[in-house]
A = this chain, B = another copy of it.
Amino acid sequence: MVDAYMRAALDEARLGLAEGGIPIGSVLVIDGQIVGRGHNRRVQRHSTILHAEMDALENAGRRRASDYRRAMLSSTLSPCSMCSGAALLYRIPRIVIGENTTFRGPEDYVRSQGVDVSLTADDEAAAACVEVMRRFIAAHPALWNEDIGE
Binding site for B on A (CB under 8 A): 42, 46-49, 54, 57-58, 60-65, 68, 80-86, 88-91, 106, 109, 145-146, 148-150
Contacts and interface: CB of A to CB of B under 8 A. Distances in A.
A49 B58 contact: yes
B91 A85 contact: no
A148 to B, nearest CB: 7
B150 A49 contact: no
Nearest to A149: B90
B58 A42 contact: no
Contact of A150 (B65, B82, B149): B65
A32 B123 CA distance: 49
A88 B83 CA distance: 11
Nearest to A148: B89
Contacts of A49: 49, 54, 57-58, 86
A118 B56 CA distance: 32
Contacts of A150: 65
Contacts of A62: 42, 46, 48, 146
A68 B150 CA distance: 10
Q: 7 closest Cβ contacts across the A-B interface?
A: A85-B85, A81-B88, A81-B85, A82-B86, A90-B149, A82-B85, A82-B89
